[in-house]
Structure 1
Amino acid sequence: MIGRYEDKEIEEIWSTEHKLRQWQNVELKTLEARANAGEVEQEAVTEISERLRASPIDLAWFNEEERRVGHDYNAFIAERRRYLPENLARFFHEKLTSYDGEEYPFAVRIHLSCRMIRHKIQALHGALWRGINAYRFVPMMERTHGRLAEIQSLGRCFITWCQPLRNGLEHLEYAENELKWSKLSGAIGTNSGLSFALEQKALGLLGAKQYIGATQIMPRILYSPIANALADIATWLEKIAFDLWLGSRDPYPRWEEPFAESQKGSSAMPHKKNPITLEKVRGMARCARAYAHAIQENIATPEGRDISQSSVERIAWPDIFHTLCHMLDCVRKVIDGLVVYPDNLAREIIESRGTYASSKAKDLLAEWLTGTITVEEVYRIIQLAAFNAFQPGETDRDCRLAKLESVTDADYLVYNIAQAPFKEPISIKDIIMTGTLKLAPSIAMDNEKKLEINRWNIALKTLFSDPDRCEKWRSIFEPSYWLEAAEPQFKAVLRT
């Protein structure tokens, strides 16, 4: 991984030095199991262990030897045997093949890396938790299909980001369970070197369970679900980043990612505060999915094995962890430093002209007008009220119809809109309650339709002559009505 996105802890876990220490541990535990079984003298195993532990691995020597022989595990064996007399050197790596020594350490490195991911997910979860509490009563419009839908609180939005992240962590932990398996069963997995019973005992000393059915390597179908779980978490982080990115657009951003006073957003446009961190997260999610796909391809390693899976694993496994760690850190920092604009969130609610309550309004009218107006007509009443509420004013309408034929026409267009008198947005709440539905330009104008709308208006005026109904009607347009509905969710989430 390039230094820009490198995680120090992951780099240490996947370093050559750490790998070689783990390889040595497998070799020594195997010798211990053989000594316990009487295959090798205990004194010999003790001396081998003491000599090797007293002689740190010489990375420079190892690297030069690997360049010479073109095989890293053989270079490792040669480096370690340098410190052993001839009568002991033969026992080191006896009855094993290279991937016997590599498989368990490979699983250990994945496990240690997953532990780092868990810690960072927990840190992000804490940031989201703080957001749930901080924004529990900040109303905002939710969108579906890119259009304004209903009111929720920003804290509820944080719940929708937080809970699936926990699910992603659970999926990762479940997939990690497969790391318990390993093998020491030789070049093709038949225990032609170390016996079946000794393999089981040696793996037990390592803390692993014997896998029956390995070839020269462990089947990669065991590891692929871990990579897929990591990719799923990365994709969920992308979803959070995308939601935040969408909300940060001008001219009335809902929020913005942290932007330092000394920071620059564009080389050409000084006013820009580009959401570069969120965009970076979205891009890195593509890398995570690509790494997971490459790891999945390793499942189809042919026959007893070839080396095609090795090159992929040297790149894809450490880099998927680097990528995810960086993404988790970025999203956590954005969440903790998020600059929220409640005024713009409120402005969206007002500009929605009460349409956020259309579903509840429809249900109430259907109940109150039973026997007078059909359910289908109630739907059309709400729809027509929305058309009326968003009907453009005279200046806006003229500008929409204007034919722009020169560059100066663009100036006139902007000037006319800038000079248009401010008009307070009208809500479907008032249109319906006052029975002032009008024929919309998008609806074919005919006498029958006019008569129908007139009948609706009469029914609505009669309906809302009742003060109790007026009060209940107004209540469903209050933000508190919608936030109150979600309060049990907060209580349930904050208890966990």
Structure 2
Amino acid sequence: MFTIDAPVELQGTEYCNYRSPLSTRYASKEMQYNFSDQKKFSTWRKLWIYLAKAEKELGLDITDEQISELESAIHDIDFAAAAEHEKKVRHDVMAHVHTLAERCPHAAPIIHLGATSCYVGDNTDLITLKHGLDLLLPRLAAVISRLAKFADQYKSLPILGFTHLQPAQLTTVGKRASLWLSDLLMDERALSRARDDLRFRGVKGTTGTQASFMQLFKGDSAKVRALDKRVAELAGFDKRYLVTGQTYSRKVDLEVVAALSGLGATVHKMCSDIRLLASRKEVEEPFEASQIGSSAMPYKRNPMRSERCCALSRHLITLHANAANTHAVQWLERTLDDSANRRITLAEAFLTADATLLTLLNICQGLVVYPKVIDRHIAQELPFMATENIIMAMVQAGGDRQVCHEKIRVLSHEAGAQVKQHGKDNDLIDRVKKDAYFAPIISQLDKILDASTFIGRAPEQVTEFIEEEVDPIVSKYVCVLTEAEKPVTLNI
């Protein structure tokens, strides 16, 4: 049987307890605070104040002094006392009700008046989701903004395109980056939509019928409805879910996590591309002067940032299933088997997305392109791609297409053998130049082999895409971009 073998003096310290790498290595302090106990329980206390204020406005016997007493205690939480209460009552909300009542004895009678646990629990979760998206969206906009600059800078630089991971027609470095951008724009729309769709659960009672509040207000339905609306306003929401069970529908969590999971898929694809390009030494993520790529191989420049993004993104992608399964098993008005899962899934989804975007921004702020390597790779493949153009030039010079086609076929196979069987460079053009048949077009070969003539409208496409689709999205965040685009220093 495993036993704790740490020195006695270390047992119970943070280094002998499990700590999530999301909080110790990867996620920002802002996102960590958003899911912290301090934020959670302070928000509970704010919600009890909003409820008391709204109930007072609508005629219940609650005094300004009681509300002031509660307001003085928003952040003054005795966590040890709350933990002791929870040991006794086995209920987290009631533990904090008792703790707050001890801190605010005059307000004790009106704390949580008419409410159920989900009043503070679910409404706090919705506030936390909203604030989490408020943190993520500027980070995503900063990535989009920086990547757009990169795409524009390299929109005309030819590079080998690939289909089936085999060399295909040329594209440009900027055009390839625009494909990453296009996916990120979809993620911005999905996250923005998820944020804008969030509503407040409000005050709905134990099964969502508001029966307890009807009793408080002596059957006055209009006042109960006004209470629901007023509390939502005080909490910063202009919309609320008009029908709920005991909880807001866990479909809401699913929609939010789905958007985050979709972001994970985008980042995984993009960073996988960067890893492939780094292997070809065409494009690299930033590499610091003192950074070590391998403990055994000093020469290595491993794409560890992109690998981190892929690792985190895979975890983010998997969380979608958790949210979907949790919603699927919420029997009737609710079951409690959502609770433990949501404590993990929601926090990890946001912390993982946050860490992923911070790492991705760091990558985009320092992407390095190696045009000479790219040119060499193009030179190895372009002769084969140019064969149709050579045939057309020969036909225009009076040659027979079928004869020319056969000539090119034979020479191409000979050149291919040099590459594949002997490991030599592609010498097709040298073979064409040495064949007297092609003498009429020898002077045109440099033009025929100009890589810039093989990229179609790629530069124009990038310009149009940035102007018509990227810039309008970035402009939404102009007030926060300066802060969001500050250079990112990663915990390695």
Which range, TM-score by smaller chain? 0.7 to 0.9
Counterparts of 1:21-60 in structure 2 under 5 Å?
21-38=42-59, 40-41=60-61, 44-55=62-73, 56-60=76-80
Give the one of 269, 276, 286 matched to 2:297: 269
- SS, match of residue 173 in structure 1: helix
Decide whether the 8 Å contact of 2:397 with 2:440 is kept in 1. no
1:334 and 1:74, CA in 2 relative to 1: closer, same or farther beyond 3 A?
Answer: same
Q: What CA distance in whole angstroms lies between the structure 2 residues aligned with 1:189 and 1:381?
A: 80
The equivalent of 1:240 in structure 2 is 270
Q: What CA distance in whole angstroms lies between the structure 2 residues aligned with 1:137 and 1:89?
A: 69
* 2:278 is aligned with 1:279: no
What is the deviation of 1:382? 7.0
Decide whether the 8 Å contact of 2:157 with 2:172 is kept in 1. yes
Query: Paired residues, what number?
Result: 433
* 2:214 is aligned with 1:214: no
Counterparts of 1:248-259 in structure 2 under 5 Å?
248-249=278-279, 252-259=280-287
Alignment-mate amino acid for residue 29 of structure 1:
Y
Counterparts of 1:50-449 in structure 2 under 5 Å?
50-55=68-73, 56-85=76-105, 88-195=107-214, 196-197=224-225, 198-208=227-237, 209-249=239-279, 252-300=280-328, 301-357=330-386, 386-392=412-418, 397=421, 425-427=427-429, 431=432
Q: Deviations over 1:95-152 (max 9, x none)?
A: 1101012222211111111111111112212221231233233321111111111222
Give the one of 435, 451, 459 matched to 1:487: 459
Q: Deviations over 1:350-370 (max 9, x none)?
A: 0104234467678x5899799
Q: What CA distance in whole angstroms lies between the structure 1 residues aligned with 2:412 and 2:271?
A: 32
* 2:41 is aligned with 1:13: no
What is the deviation of 1:84? 3.5
Alignment-mate amino acid for residue 20 of structure 1:
F
- SS, match of residue 159 in structure 2: strand
1:83 and 1:96, CA in 2 relative to 1: closer, same or farther beyond 3 A?
Answer: same
Decide whether the 8 Å contact of 1:29 with 1:205 is kept in 2. yes
- SS, match of residue 212 in structure 2: coil
1:100 and 1:423, CA in 2 relative to 1: closer, same or farther beyond 3 A?
Answer: closer
What is the deviation of 1:30? 1.8
- SS, match of residue 66 in structure 1: helix
What is the deviation of 1:275? 1.8
What is the deviation of 1:258? 2.5
What is the deviation of 1:392? 2.0
The equivalent of 2:7 in structure 1 is none
Q: What CA distance in whole angstroms lies between the structure 1 residues aligned with 2:409 and 2:66?
A: 84
Q: What CA distance in whole angstroms lies between the structure 2 residues aligned with 1:111 and 1:203?
A: 14
- SS, match of residue 428 in structure 2: coil
Decide whether the 8 Å contact of 1:10 with 1:318 is kept in 2. no
Decide whether the 8 Å contact of 2:53 with 2:67 is kept in 1. no
Decide whether the 8 Å contact of 1:141 with 1:149 is kept in 2. yes
What is the deviation of 1:485? 2.2
Q: What CA distance in whole angstroms lies between the structure 1 residues aligned with 2:112 and 2:296?
A: 62
Kindly name which structure, 1 or 2, has the bigger radius of gyration based on alpha carbons: 1
- SS, match of residue 391 in structure 1: helix
Q: What CA distance in whole angstroms lies between the structure 1 residues aligned with 2:407 and 2:255?
A: 52
Alignment-mate amino acid for residue 392 of structure 1:
Q
- Greater CA deviation, 283-292 or 62-71? 62-71
TM, length-normalised to structure 2: 0.79
- SS, match of residue 136 in structure 2: helix
1:205 and 1:329, CA in 2 relative to 1: closer, same or farther beyond 3 A?
Answer: closer
1:80 and 1:344, CA in 2 relative to 1: closer, same or farther beyond 3 A?
Answer: same
- SS, match of residue 210 in structure 1: coil
What is the deviation of 1:47? 1.6
What is the deviation of 1:379? 8.6
Higher-RCO chain (CA-CA 8 Å, sequence separation at least 6): 2
Q: What CA distance in whole angstroms lies between the structure 1 residues aligned with 2:407 and 2:262?
A: 43
- SS, match of residue 376 in structure 2: helix
- Greater CA deviation, 339-348 or 191-200? 191-200
Q: What CA distance in whole angstroms lies between the structure 1 residues aligned with 2:376 and 2:114?
A: 74
What is the deviation of 1:491? 2.4
TM, length-normalised to structure 1: 0.78
Q: What CA distance in whole angstroms lies between the structure 1 residues aligned with 2:245 and 2:462?
A: 51
1:104 and 1:381, CA in 2 relative to 1: closer, same or farther beyond 3 A?
Answer: farther
Decide whether the 8 Å contact of 2:284 with 2:369 is kept in 1. yes
Structure 2 residue runs of 5 or longer lacking an equivalent are 1-19, 215-223, 472-492
Alignment-mate amino acid for residue 425 of structure 1:
D
Q: What CA distance in whole angstroms lies between the structure 2 residues aligned with 1:261 and 1:210?
A: 52
Alignment-mate amino acid for residue 85 of structure 2:
E
1:306 and 1:388, CA in 2 relative to 1: closer, same or farther beyond 3 A?
Answer: same
What is the deviation of 1:14? 0.9
What is the deviation of 1:483? 4.2
Alignment-mate amino acid for residue 292 of structure 2:
K
1:53 and 1:355, CA in 2 relative to 1: closer, same or farther beyond 3 A?
Answer: same
What is the deviation of 1:480? 1.8
Q: What CA distance in whole angstroms lies between the structure 2 residues aligned with 1:281 and 1:20?
A: 32
Decide whether the 8 Å contact of 2:246 with 2:333 is kept in 1. yes
Decide whether the 8 Å contact of 2:202 with 2:231 is kept in 1. no
Alignment-mate amino acid for residue 168 of structure 1:
D
1:358 and 1:143, CA in 2 relative to 1: closer, same or farther beyond 3 A?
Answer: farther
1:290 and 1:67, CA in 2 relative to 1: closer, same or farther beyond 3 A?
Answer: farther
- Greater CA deviation, 96-105 or 334-343? 334-343
1:385 and 1:167, CA in 2 relative to 1: closer, same or farther beyond 3 A?
Answer: farther
- SS, match of residue 52 in structure 1: helix
Decide whether the 8 Å contact of 2:81 with 2:99 is kept in 1. yes
The equivalent of 1:406 in structure 2 is none
1:204 and 1:53, CA in 2 relative to 1: closer, same or farther beyond 3 A?
Answer: closer
